[in-house]
Structure 1
Amino acid sequence: MKQVVAVTSKAQLEAFIDFPHDLYENDPCYVPELFIAQRDLLTPGKHPFHDHSPVQLFLAYDNGKVAGRIAAIFNKNHNAFNNTTDGFFGFFDCVNDKEISSMLFSKAEQWLKEQGATSIVGPANFSTNETCGLLVKGFDTPPFAMMPYNKAYYESLIGNVGLHKKVDLIAYRFGEDGYDDKSVRLKEAIVNRLKTKGIVIRPVVKKNFQAEVDKIREVYNSAWDRNLGFVPMTHKEFDYLAKDLKMILDTDFCLVAEKDGKLVGFALAIPDINQILINIRRGRLLPFGLFKLLFGMKKINGIRVIALGVVEGYRKLGIEACLYASIIEAYRKKKYKHCEASWILEHNELMNKALEHVKGVPHKRYRIFEKAI
């Protein structure tokens, strides 16, 4: 018998988190999420997203065995900011069974309608500020840090329930030497020119971490305020993310542009921690996962450029080039071999051309779907 039930207990939540481990068993590209991080993300009172928006998790069973999962998300902040009535789906994983997936989406859509949603958009876990998009191209390599991965047949399951493409997100890859270093060669001249305008580029100062985070949040929420689907992060949400990232942060890859004490731009690249997580069985840090995490950091040989933004009024002055150049210099110094810049909206011509110009190669494509409900 096939059925879908709402997640209401700790045991069901654990089953929800653990289902992908069984579904992707023996898949060489699958990277398990840390159990404790997923549990906190999905638990009201633990993650600040729940302070402003409701989430309902659903599990599908086939003859008593878990066969799928989905989260229905009604992001009130997103709707208020964008003047929409969107509902979202996320955390979608399913066996290759159209009946099971249809039942999951039916339950999610029904719940979203009850919240007042008139459309369903996704996947997003919970918004574009977290992992989002369905992998539709580039299944041959594991994902970089904080990027999703899924079965190739998911696109068919999602299309089967009437969802259609909203937009694609592109991930660019660079090899050990496969990039244009023009920005590095011009960096000194650009830095000197920026100084005449009172603008300096510097790494974040960890001992002043909270003050730095507060300033970066303002840049983040203004530099990206009109990107498709963007919603500003609350103070608590941004602090939560910053606290997680601080554990793996390398200040050589976390840079800010500052004018008279005010931040006007920043760039962030993080070590590809997925190179370690891929070997942590079922996402459990105990008993041995913690040692793999602690001792594996020195073996990481790749980074993901996760964000680079400059506020309106300071763009095209050379700040972007200096931020890129500083990341490339640190990349060389540490002798990294792999880099991904992700993700970029497919219609963001300025950023796509810039990455192609420095010899970035599009190697993965992710898709956001939508439909009216």
Structure 2
Amino acid sequence: MAVEIREVKSSREKKQFIYLPEKLYEKRYPQWVHPIYASEEEFFDEKKNGAWKYSDAVLFLASKDGELCGRIMGIVNHKVNKFRKENSARFGFFDSIDDLSVSSALFGAVEEWARNKGCDRIVGPLGFTDLDPEGMLIEGQENRATITTWWHPPYTPRLVENSGYKKEIDWFTYKVDLTKPLPEVYEKIAKRVLERTSYKLLDIRKRNDLKPFIRPVFELLNEAYQHLYGFSPLDPEEIDKIAADYLPLLDTRFVKLITLDGKLVAFSIGLPDMTEGIQKARGRLFPFGIFKILSASKRTKQLDMMLGAIKEEHRGKGLDVLMAVDIYTKARAAGMTYSDSHHELETNTVMRGEMEKLGGVIYKRHRIFYKEL
């Protein structure tokens, strides 16, 4: 039977789009983790997600034999295109059964839409911004997904490639064994920074103490991430939204802020892994899901590193080591045995080198694909 592709128009269809991966993966793949559906619904709400104001976007659903079996999103982020001097579209939220007729029809629909928007190439999977999930999992599917990352079944990259897509760039994720001692030189560097310079590593005890630093953190992120793939600066509305979403989840033990003369010059943020709790809650926060998620975050043996940056003029002065030593020490004290580095661009040889100095090994790889239109 022919594949039917339809553009999402109604709230009912949007709900089908959001919950389709659960139908496809929940009972087949224990490594797949539900999204937090409250956040997912806000992401697709044009009134609540400011990125829709500067982007064109479309959602497609695929069905075969009367059953929903695939989805894809198309995005033209005009802010990114202007910032990067590009004329590209993005695809994201691609999920499908293992059927080339379904995946080909989905990509055909999103490519035609992108051409009609005047785009000359398409890349993905990506969301609106650099802080949305990025990249298709092409290695490490045996490992459970971490928060804010996409997990895809092993057949999915083949579906993309069969639609004519090629590699654009990869992200590596490192696994670091926290049971092993840090290199001795790290302790010496951290001690020297604290004793011989005016840098201050702040001791944050309460989440409310973080509020004065929210804007400075994202201002530094905007500054430091400009050269990274796909990034465009976040505006104040986006910053407020991200802060509201993630501040309640932060564990201040793993939030590191360094100041010089009262001004923020570096930060690093980690989160205790909470994906086991998200699975048990099936992505639903209420009525009891939130308690399952918080409980899992207290029991976990894994620390997920999320974000970090150092002002350019303060790099090479040991600030990264100072934050790493403090996080490492507190993670071990909390009984954690390993950390997940989150995405490291394959071209970011400095950060990859630091991960490898810590004994980190690559255990996941996410890929961005491209196709000329």
Please report how far the alpha carbon of residue 298 of structure 1 lies from its aligned counterpart in structure 2 after TM superposition. 2.1
In 2 relative to 1, CA 11–203 (structure 1 residues): closer, same or farther, beyond 3 Å? farther
Is 2:268 the partner of 1:267?
yes
Asked if the contact 1:181/1:325 (under 8 Å) is kept, the reply is no
What is the TM-score normalised by the length of structure 1?
0.95
Q: How does 1:340-359 map to 2 (within 5 A)?
A: 340-359=340-359
Deviations 1:312-351 (A, max 9, x none): 1111011111111111111122111221012111121111
Distance 1:224 1:171, change over 3 A: same
Question: Which residue does 1:230 correspond to in 2?
Answer: 231
Moved over 4 A (4+): none
User: Does residue 190 of structure 2 align to residue 187 of structure 1?
Assistant: yes
- Separation in 2, partners of 1:243, 1:203: 22
What percent identity do the matched residue pairs reach?
A: 28
**Separation in structure 2 between the aligned mates of residue 21 and residue 178 of structure 1, nearest angstrom:** 37
Matches within 5 A, 1:81-230: 81-178=83-180, 180-182=182-184, 183-195=186-198, 199-204=199-204, 206-230=207-231
1:224-262 deviation line (CA, Å, top 9, x unaligned): 111122111111112211211111101121112212222
Quick one: distance in 2 between partners of 1:274 and 1:73? 27
SS of the residue corresponding to residue 142 of structure 1 reads coil
CA distance in 2, matches of 1:360, 1:338: 10
1:271-299: CA deviations, max 9, x gaps?
21112112223x22344423322433322
Listed one character per residue, the Cα deviations across residues 129-184 of structure 1 (whole Å, up to 9, x for unaligned) are: 21111111111110222222101111111001111001110000022414634323
Contact 1:55–1:73 (Cα < 8 Å) also in 2: yes
Which stretch of structure 1 is more off in the superposition, 36-45 or 106-115?
Answer: 106-115
1-structure distance, mates of 2:356, 2:291: 39
The one-letter amino acid of 2:151's match is Y
8 Å contact from structure 1 (residues 255, 323) kept in 2: yes
| 1:6 and 2:10 correspond | no
Aligned AA (1:126) = F
- Aligned residue number for residue 249 of structure 1: 250
Q: Which amino acid aligns with 1:74?
A: V
Letter in 2 for 1:8: K
Matched residue, 1:278: 279
Amino acid at match of 2:41: R
Shift of 1:223: 0.9
Query: 2: CA distance between counterparts of 1:314 and 1:176?
Result: 27
**Contact persistence 2:275–2:293 (CA under 8 A):** no
**Secondary structure at 2:55's aligned position in 1?**
coil
TM-score, length-scaled by structure 2: 0.95
Distance 1:179 1:75, change over 3 A: farther
How many Å apart are 1:23 and its aligned residue? 0.8
Q: Secondary structure at the match of 1:320?
A: helix
Q: State the distance in 1 between where 2:207 and 2:261 align.
A: 20
AA matched with 1:247: P
Separation of aligned partners in 2, 1:135 and 1:152 = 8
Q: Measure the CA separation in 2 of the matches of 1:134 and 1:179.
A: 33
Inter-partner Cα distance in structure 2 for 1:265 and 1:217: 11
The whole-number CA distance in structure 2 between the counterparts of 1:289 and 1:257 is: 34
Given that 1:266 and 1:310 are in contact with CA atoms closer than 8 Å, whether structure 2 keeps it comes out as yes
SS of residue paired to 1:105:
helix
8 Å contact kept, 2:270–2:306: yes
Q: Which ranges in structure 1 are unaligned for 5 or more consecutive residues?
A: none
| Matches of 2:115 and 2:266, distance apart in 1 | 39
Is the 1:179–1:358 contact (alpha carbons within 8 Å) kept by the matching residues of 2? no
Cα displacement (A) at 1:185: 4.5
Deviation string, structure 1 residues 30-66 (Cα, Å, up to 9, x no partner):
1111222111111101112112212211100112211
Equivalent residue in structure 1 for 2:63, among 61, 64, 68: 61
- Structure 2 Cα separation of the partners of residues 120 and 71 of structure 1: 12
SS state of the match for residue 58, structure 1? Answer: strand
Distance in 2, matches of 1:212 and 1:285, equals 27
Q: Which amino acid in 2 is paired with 1:136?
A: I
The answer to whether the 8 A contact 1:145-1:271 is kept is no
Q: Following the alignment from structure 1 to structure 2, what is the Cα–Cα distance between the partners of residues 160 and 44?
A: 32
The equivalent residue for 1:28 is 30
Q: Distance in 2 between matches of 1:74 and 1:233?
A: 16
The unaligned stretches of length 5 or more in structure 2 are none
Kindly tell me the number of residue pairs found equivalent between the two proteins.
369
Q: Aligned AA for 2:310?
A: V
Whether the 8 Å contact between 2:207 and 2:250 is mirrored in structure 1 is no
Residue in 2 that maps onto 1:317: 317
Amino acid at match of 1:116: G
Q: Which residue of 2 aligns with 1:339?
A: 339
User: 2-side partners of 1:361 and 1:233: how far apart?
Assistant: 31
